[in-house]
Amino acid sequence: MGVDNSVTLESFCKNLKIEVIELTEDTMEFDMIGIDASLANAFRRILIAEVPTMAIENVLMVNNTSVIPDEVLAHRLGLIPLNADPKLFEYLSEHDTPNERNTIVFKLAVSCKKGSPRLTVKSDQLKWLPGGSELEMESPTPSAKPRTYTSFSRSQDSMPEFANKPLGVKHQDIIIDKLGPGQAIELEAHAVKGIGKVHAKWSPVATAWYRMLPEVILLKEIKGVDAEKLVKKCPVNVFDIEDVGKGGKKAVVANPRACTLCRECIRGVNEPQVELRRAKDHFI
Amino acid sequence: MEHGSLTDLSSSTFSLIDEDHTLANSVRFTLNQDPRVQFCGYSIPHPSDNKVNIRVQTTGDPAKDVLKDALQNLMLMCKHVRTTFDDTVNDFRATEKVEHIDINSDR
């Protein structure tokens, strides 16, 4: 394989280098050097499938007279990304009661009056209910105090973690539904913690991928007119001209990172001048 | 679950439930680093069942211990990656903030 497999833990720790290329709120690009493909792939798989997030799971419908059926509307609600830190919540299993530590409750109540134009229901109309569910369950004894679908012992407003950052949806302009005149939606949505393996709505990333750094090696020195031709061939400007004394020009590899391995530089030339490979332990 | 012979502790197959390539490939990689290992490989009997079979053959040491060591090594490697990553991201954020401040002060 050309790779020494007897690497030990200390040499791994010494050789590992991570460089961050780009970091914004929504995307990140970084390089890992000195790591093996199996570990890089494991990180990618874990990012997609096993990092927990919060997403809407149970939807209690009170009224839905829109054209979109109940289950499709519930499916759409589940896919909306929420602005909630999953580390502050616990998992909810089948036997637990929903309480303020494992559920977030949202309410959506929209109606379109007769005579007004079509109304678009956007995700900013999902209101957070910090006090828990407002819908009452049917209780066997009518005189007893009505129970709601969640048993919040205290309002989530009062919890210190949520004091500064109210919970809500991440993007305010996601279209959930469209209502014609006389149609209405009233529902309550409960969001719980889960991982992407169970359902893709709980996957925290839109996607995650990696590629290995391409290595472009010039087998021979390419000078003069050939050098300029080579530079022109590459669609992403991997090569560059370096001026060697006496007006001669030499081609050098300036930006191997941008190489997409399209092999344009090899086409049309009779003898092999350029070799394209991938660096076995450099992952982008 | 371990399938092995009772007399020869140095080779056995471990069947792990609720695992997939994510763990199995990384464990196979760390097992390969160990000089005591003669052969190691993993297979997934059927993609619909969530099971992984890891085969370990060593040069004498019991396969259980070698697998345990490999898993420990994997945990330490991941911890190191995590600390390196956190440090790198913090440094990057710090340098970004500094640049922002510089731009503002020029105006």
**Per-residue confidence band for A266, with pLDDT thresholds at 50, 70 and 90:** low
Q: Is the ipTM of this complex over 0.90?
A: no
pLDDT tens string A169-195: 888 888 888 888 888 888 888 888 888
In this model, does residue A6 exceed pLDDT 50?
Answer: no
Using CA coordinates, name the residue in chain A closest to B36.
A6
Collapsing DSSP states into helix, strand and coil, what is residue B13? strand
Q: Does A9 touch chain B (CB under 8 A)?
A: yes
CA gap A71, A227 in Å, rounded: 62
Which residue did the predictor score with more confidence, B87 or A257? Answer: B87
- Both structure tokens of A11: 């040499």
On average, the pLDDT of chain A sits at 75
Mutate to test the interface with B, among A3, A11, A13 (most CBs of B within 10 A): A13
CA gap A167, A161 in Å, rounded: 10
Which residue did the predictor score with more confidence, B47 or A206? Answer: B47
CA gap A125, A176 in Å, rounded: 10
How close does chain A come to B32, measured CA to CA in Å? Answer: 7
Q: If you average pLDDT over each of A55-69, A189-203, A240-254, B3-17, which comes out highest? A: A55-69
Q: Which residues pair with A227 in a beta bridge?
A: none
Q: Looking at residue A49, what is its pLDDT?
A: 84
Residues of B in contact with A46 (CB under 8 A): 22
Which residue did the predictor score with more confidence, B4 or A128? Answer: A128
CA gap A187, A63 in Å, rounded: 7
Q: What is the mean pLDDT of residues A219-245?
A: 67
pLDDT tens string A29-72: 888 888 888 888 888 888 888 888 888 888 888 888 888 898 99
- Both structure tokens of A147: 């129970």
Phi, psi torsion values for A181, nearest 5 degrees: -60, 135
Q: Looking at residue A143, what is its pLDDT?
A: 52
The amino acid present at B55, given as its one-letter code, is: R
Question: pTM for the whole thing?
Answer: 0.73
In this model, does residue B86 exceed pLDDT 70?
Answer: yes
Q: Looking at residue A72, what is its pLDDT?
A: 92
Residues of B in contact with A41 (CB under 8 A): 21-22, 25
**Per-residue confidence band for A97, with pLDDT thresholds at 50, 70 and 90:** confident
The amino acid present at B21, given as its one-letter code, is: H
* Rounded percentage of chain B residues whose pLDDT exceeds 70: 81
A·B CB contacts under 8 A: 59
**Per-residue confidence band for A272, with pLDDT thresholds at 50, 70 and 90:** low
Q: If you average pLDDT over each of A20-24, A118-122, A196-200, A270-274, which comes out highest? A: A118-122
Residues of A in contact with B22 (CB under 8 A): 41-42, 45-46, 49-50
DSSP state of A223: B
In this model, does residue A4 exceed pLDDT 60?
Answer: no
Q: What is the mean pLDDT of residues B86-97?
A: 81
CA B96 to chain centre: 33
How close does chain A come to B55, measured CA to CA in Å? Answer: 17
Residues of A in contact with B84 (CB under 8 A): 16-18
Q: What is the mean pLDDT of residues B53-79?
A: 83
Using CA coordinates, name the residue in chain A closest to B87.
A18
Using CA coordinates, name the residue in chain A closest to B90.
A20
Q: Does B100 touch chain A (CB under 8 A)?
A: no
> Which of A23, A46, A49 is closest, CB to CB, to B92?
A23
Which residues 6+ apart lie within 8 Å of B19 measured at CB? B50, B51, B52
Nearest to A39 by CA among B32, B64, B47, B13: B32
Which residues 6+ apart lie within 8 Å of B83 measured at CB? none
Q: What is the mean pLDDT of residues B10-38?
A: 83
CA distances (Å), A247 to each of A24, A225, A253, in order? 44, 12, 19
| Vertex A94 angle, CA A89 and A96, to 5° | 55
Q: What is the mean pLDDT of residues A97-122?
A: 83
> Which of B73, B84, B93 is closest, CB to CB, to A16?
B84
Q: What is the mean pLDDT of residues B64-69?
A: 83
Question: What element of type H or E holds A235?
Answer: none
How close does chain B come to A7, measured CA to CA in Å? Answer: 6
Q: Looking at residue A267, what is its pLDDT?
A: 60
Q: Compute how many other C-beta atoms are within 10 angstroms of the C-beta atom of residue B54.
A: 23
In this model, does residue B50 exceed pLDDT 80?
Answer: yes
Q: What is the mean pLDDT of residues A220-225?
A: 66
Q: Does B50 touch chain A (CB under 8 A)?
A: no
CA gap A29, A207 in Å, rounded: 12
Burial class (CB within 10 angstroms; exposed 0-12, middle 13-18, buried 19+) of A180: middle
How many alpha carbons fall within 13 Å on the CB side of residue A122? 6
- Both structure tokens of A232: 């022109």
